[in-house]
Structure 1
Amino acid sequence: MSIFAKKVGVSSNTMNDNLDIFTRFVKYSPHFLLAILMLPVCGGLMSVLLPAFGYAPALEQTTIGLQGFMALWQTPGLAQMILLSVVTGLLSTLCAFVITLLILGAFFNSQWLNHIQRLLSPILVIPHAAAAIAVGFLIAPSGMLSRLLSPWLSGREFAPAGILPHDPYGISIILGLTLKELPFLLLMALSVLAQPEFGKTLRQQHKVALNLGYCPMTAFFKVILPSIYPLLRLPILAVLAYASASVEMPLILGPNTPSTLAVAIMHWFNDVDLNLRLQASAGAILQLALTSGLLLLWLMGEKIVKAFFCDSLTNGKRDYGDVFWQKITTILTVCVIAFILLALVGLMMWSVAGFWRFPALLPEQLTLLHVKSALAQMGNPIFNTLSIGFVATISAIILTLLCLEAEQLSAKPLSNVTNLIIYLPLLVPSIAFLFGLVWVQQLMHIQSSFFNMVFSHLLFVLPYVFLSLASSYRRLDPRFAQVGASLGTTPFNVFLKIKLPQLFAPILVAVALGLAISFGQYLPTLLVGGGRITTITTEAVTLANGASRRTSAVYGIMQMVLPLLGFILAWILPKYFFKSAH
């Protein structure tokens, strides 16, 4: 009897130890997540601040001063760089936001909105570099648009001398960023409306407004928009922060003399003259100030718009030219979708085109020569892309699941400050804190390029993975866990055997999203890797600025294929496993 009691006691103690280890680990996981997001960003900003004021022991600069800023102010074309960054960032975000609102208002509560969502959703998996390459091929003087219009409309037998892309006004950058960020904002808005109780309430309110005689678009802007905009504010600010400090889009579509400020900073950082890093640090601080100013400008604009249109919400007017705006929105939506599809078709055609004389709409011959040649050289970049992406994404998935489990065990939702910190790497210009992060790694003599790369990718993957999984995890029926706990199941087994199987499909989607985000990272790969590790994205951007269109098209397509395969698997695997379970 005593032996049995001892065995039971040993097993009970072991179970309690496991329980304590798991609950303790889960309890501290939110703090670990916040540390992973805050320390590199804040440390990177501090580390870029010191070289900006002349303190860089690695370059034998130990005198505090304004050397970096003095060199920055003397840079030719600095004012144009600043203006180009501000205008392209603000206008592209504003255009994407306005078009999103028009689409939502015109097609709210209709099947057309679901069709538009299905057409635009795949654009999310396309990295910015691939999207820029596709848009560049479309708007080039000998691109698909020009071929569609020549010679029957333009009368041209030869390619015109157009200013797009690489125009000095940033029109190409605005166009590329708008087309890339529009699907993101639209899907963020649809995810808000997909919340069961909240979405149901808004749709009922919209129907009440229609019954009171309000036109559909007027009802949307007066009833729905004021309720959903607060939930869209952070995604909009993240888009604005990215657009104002983007590197891939301006590097492929923008002008070179001068370029945007972020592109110039990247060039200074990678220059063989190491003293230019002081100037690059000062430029990073300036970029941070510009982005912060744009975010504040947007927030101030919210208050101005609210004060200006406040009375219109309650003035009882039921029609603001809805028929006209419905037609305009329909035409605009068709043009956006057609533009995107035409850009993708052009990219695929260039990848297999042989001789293609202008203004012929189709190539005279098709060949796989460039595809085979490019694939023969892609082995190492593809391996690096996949290995970095998988390690960063799996790490993000594990940390996110533990944090969401901690939220449920404590029965307390994450605070607003925590939710804001999750967005921190998306709100702070990456060119600023990544530049400082490189300084920190060099001072700490961290030589593992692969580890550095995975960690830098994790900073950008983690917010998207968390946002993707949070809603599904929070909607889990708590009764299953309560039944398991009442039967003596430990919290670890409840988490592993009850909750995770229910989240199989959302976890696969989060994995696919995390991989897509990692695959598209250009600046972290370039700055943190120092050129020692090449990926599909870095190769695609390099080839887009000098290689043949056909080779660039192949790399652009490969950029799209890799994340697309992830989403296809995330869609197929749950159906296969659930079918096998039955």
Structure 2
Amino acid sequence: MNAKTLALDSQDMFTKLVKLSPYLLLALLMLPVLGGLACVLLPAIGWAPALQQTTIGLQGFNALWQTPGLSKMVTLSVTTGLVSTLLALIITLMMLAAFFNSVWLNRIQRLLSPILVIPHAAAAIAVGFLIAPSGMLSRLISPWLSGWQLAPNGLFPHDSYGISIILGLTLKELPFLLLMALGALAQPELGKALRQQHKVALNLGYHPMTAFFKVTLPNLYPLLRLPVLAVLAYASASVEMPLILGPNTPATLAVAIMQWFTDADLNLRIKASAGALLQLIITGGLLALWLSGEKTITYLFRDLMTNGKRDYAGFIWQKITMVLTTLVIGFILLALMGLVMWSVAGFWRFPAAVPEQLVVSHFQQALVQMSNPLLNTLAIGTVTTVLAVTITLLCLESEQLNAKPLSYFMSSVIYLPLLVPSVAFLFGLVWLQQLVNHQAVFFNVVLAHLLFVLPYVFLSLASSYRRLDVRFAHVAASLGSTPYQVFLRVKLPQLFAPILIATALGLAISFGQYLPTLLMGGGRISTITTEAVTLANGASRRTSAVYAMMQMALPLAGFMLAWLLPKFFFKGARF
């Protein structure tokens, strides 16, 4: 077989892969989610051959209704999910309105963007250390303001109202929504049009914040709808945040479902399956409530959009937004500072604001124990991210070769694993895994991670790929290059930096996965995140802080490499 034959075979294989890649994307995102939902439905109605139960009925739901505190669990899930999403969106919109067309918006983005790489578990640990009775906030006001010489009996964290959960979720999701909004504004045509419309409104005498809400937001919000719904779906069914910050008697519904499913009594899995369906209904109801709320607000405020009023106490709201932004950034920085100090703290008596001595023994002890979880974290994250980046690149290349974007249906499917509560379909996947392939634990965990990594990688790479100047590809093709050669030698080099950013993002998402690793691994695969969550409520603060620091260090290292490598490889380039 000569070189020409090999080249033709490679070209044929590449063409086939590109054509099949959109269908592969659909299969990878739809089949596990829909299959998981189907497989969680059957045990909920009594059909579970693995537990010798084949009588169809409502046993699971009957057991669920008899659970003490079920109404409190549901209330916690609804209120924490809805309130945290609403707060995150309101603060995001206030920041955008106050600093629109200002250099401060980019500065705020640079300050908050690193929060995106922090896993939810690490963020929850940091917030918990900050608001605990002997946390950083209490230390900063003691004893000079509070008069406390000893740590008080505090309400936070683990308060029964879920305020700690709301605080943690709001601070974690706010940077995501802000980044999604800025990403939409970065689209050349849309961003230019919205900024010009905003300037026209200013020239007509509108206050900057009024101009944003009347002119910019109606065109911007449709692009934020899916990210907001994804945040709401996650917040209503989150496990890591409520497990670390929330109450235990009772916990949120998602945490209770996880506890039932991992209990030694396997019969509780029937109730867990029924609970997963209830969680699906709750999340679906919240999404429907949000969409109907959009219509209601549009109807109620339609007259305000066209009444010609230029100002609604904009100066006061702008000052409030500045103070709120300062508090948010300060709160986040203070939480991270407290986490760092606890990881190296020796003797630290309350109410001292800083440790009396700094030591590295906590890191030395933890590093000895975390070698296996660290290797598992890196292996799963690497395999998952490589698969996600490869599939995404092939799908986007299919777009360009067909000269048309992905269909609306396919674009919406990308959000499917983010909109469906993970506690619902992951439990079904566990049932399916035990029937089909319960031995390939590593493969099962990678597949579960891929469901959450692939959407973020696709969204990260799509805009850069679609902005490629097709003239370069046309010139290369006119010189005799095949689509495979154009893809490999023309497009990928131009996408070097975006691919690295998407890879770093994919690794960060994979590193932070708790529930998929716990359930699909069956407790046989431990990662830094699963260990951190386990230690958060039981181990010393210093040990928990070390694991949380490692959770942050891994994705941060990935983003640092993504930032440095293009500078290294192209340092001699002239553009």
TM-score range, shorter chain: over 0.9
Name 2:258's counterpart in structure 1: 266
Aligned with residue 324 of structure 2, among 309, 323, 332: 332
Question: How many angstroms apart in 2 are the aligned matches of 1:15 and 1:93?
Answer: 52
Following TM superposition, where does structure 1 have runs of at least 4 consecutive aligned residues deviating by more than 2 angstroms? 10-21
Q: Matched residues in 2 for 1:279 and 1:447: separation?
A: 25
Counterpart of 2:152 in structure 1 is: 160
The Cα shift of 1:371 comes to: 1.4
* Corresponding residue to 1:459 among 444, 451, 455: 451
Residue in structure 2 matched with residue 421 of structure 1 by the alignment: 413
Q: Report the Cα offset of residue 14 of structure 1.
A: 5.7
Correspondence for 2:380 among 368, 388, 397: 388
Identity of aligned residues (%): 75
Task: Tell me the residue number matched to 1:372.
Answer: 364
Q: Match of 1:528, as an amino acid? A: M
**Map of 1:3 onto structure 2:** none
Structure 2 residue corresponding to 1:19, chosen from 11, 14, 19? 11
Matches within 5 A, 1:216-365: 216-365=208-357
What do residues 495-549 of structure 1 show as CA deviations (whole Å, max 9, x unaligned)? 0010000000000000000000000000001000011010000000000011000
Q: Which residue of 1 aligns with 2:141?
A: 149
Q: Which moved more, 1:127-136 or 1:18-27?
A: 18-27
Query: Which residue in 1 is equivalent to 2:92?
Result: 100
* Separation (CA, whole Å) in 1 of partners of 2:404 and 2:96: 33
Q: Deviations over 1:215-240 (max 9, x none)?
A: 00000000110001000000000000
Match of 1:554 in 2: 546
Q: Secondary structure at the match of 1:355?
A: coil
* Counterpart residue type for residue 410 of structure 2: T
Q: What is the SS of the residue equivalent to 2:563?
A: helix
SS at match of 1:434: helix
Distance 1:46 1:382 in 2: 34
Question: For 1:89 and 1:497, how far apart are their aligned partners in 2?
Answer: 46
Q: Identify the residue that residue 489 of structure 1 maps to in structure 2.
A: 481
Deviations 1:456-490, CA, capped at 9 Å, x for gaps: 10110000000000000000000010011111111
| Counterpart Cα distance in 1 of 2:17 and 2:239 | 38
Shift of 1:155: 1.1
The match for 2:30 is: 38
Structure 2 counterparts to residues 408-557 of structure 1, below 5 A: 408-557=400-549
Task: Return the alpha-carbon distance in structure 1 between the equivalents of residues 160 and 202 of structure 2.
Answer: 47
Query: In structure 2, what is the equivalent of residue 205 of structure 1?
Result: 197
Pair 441,212 (structure 1): closer, same or farther in 2 beyond 3 Å: same
Cα distance in 2 for residues equivalent to 1:448 and 1:99: 44
* Whole-angstrom distance in 2 between the partners of 1:69 and 1:420: 32
Query: Could you tell me how far apart the structure 2 residues matched to 1:125 and 1:543 are?
Result: 21
Counterpart-to-counterpart distance in 2, 1:306 and 1:406: 38
Q: 2:390 — aligned with what? A: 398
Q: What is the TM-score with the length of structure 1 in the denominator?
A: 0.97
**2:299 alignment partner, SS class:** helix
2:73 corresponds to 1:73: no
Per the TM alignment, residue 11 of structure 1 is displaced from its structure 2 partner at its CA by: 7.1
How far has the Cα of 1:20 moved from its partner?
A: 2.9
What's the CA shift for 1:445?
Answer: 3.4
Give the deviation of 1:18 after TM superposition. Answer: 3.6
Q: Secondary structure at the match of 1:158?
A: coil
Tell me how far apart the structure 2 counterparts of residues 352 and 487 of structure 1 sit (CA, whole Å): 60
1:358 aligned counterpart, secondary structure: coil
1:59: which partner in 2? 51
Q: Which amino acid aligns with 2:386?
A: I
Letter in 1 for 2:338: G
1:181 counterpart residue number: 173
Q: CA deviation at 1:354?
A: 1.0
SS in 2 for 1:579: coil
Residue 522 and residue 11 in structure 1: after superposition, are their counterparts in 2 closer, same or farther (change >3 A)? Answer: closer
Counterpart code for 1:352: V
Deviation at 1:441, TM superposition (A): 0.6
Instruction: Provide, for residues 18-54 of structure 1, a one-character-per-residue CA deviation record: whole Å limited to 9, x for no partner.
Output: 4332212201110011000000000000000000000
Specify every segment of 5 or more residues in structure 1 that has no aligned partner in the other structure, as ranges.
1-6
- Partner amino acid for 2:469? D
Q: Which amino acid aligns with 2:281?
A: A
SS of 2:264's partner is: coil
CA distance in 2, matches of 1:400, 1:275: 40
Residue deviations 1:177-200 (CA, integer Å, cap 9, x gap): 000000000000000001111101
Distance in 2 separating the partners of 1:24 and 1:362? 61
Q: Give the distance between the partners of 2:44 and 2:428, measured in 1 at CA.
A: 10
Distance in 1 between residues matched to 2:524 and 2:383, nearest whole Å: 18
In 2, distance between residues paired with 1:186 and 1:243?
A: 17
* Whole-Å separation in 1 of the counterparts to 2:392 and 2:307: 46
Structure 1 CA distance, aligned partners of 2:100 and 2:516?
Answer: 39
CA distance 1:185–1:456, shift in 2 (3 Å): same
Counterpart-to-counterpart distance in 2, 1:281 and 1:450: 24
Give the CA deviation at 1:156. 1.2
Aligned residue identity for 1:205: Q
Question: Which SS does the other structure have where 2:54 is aligned?
Answer: coil
Distance 2:456 2:356 in 1: 43
Question: Using a 3 Å threshold, how does the CA distance of structure 1 residues 13 and 451 change in structure 2: closer, same or farther?
Answer: closer
Residue 12 of structure 1: how far off its partner (Å): 6.6
Match 1:117 to one of 79, 98, 109: 109
Q: Residue by residue, what CA displacement relative to the aligned partner does 1:105-125 show, whole Å, maximum 9, x if unpaired? A: 000000111110010000000
Query: Following TM superposition, by how much is the alpha carbon of 1:158 offset from its aligned partner in structure 2, in angstroms?
Result: 1.0
Gaps of 5+ in 2: none
Distance in 2 of aligned mates of 1:388 and 1:527: 15
Deviations 1:268-307 (A, max 9, x none): 0000100000000000000000000000000000000000
Q: Which one-letter code corresponds to 1:313 in the other structure? A: M
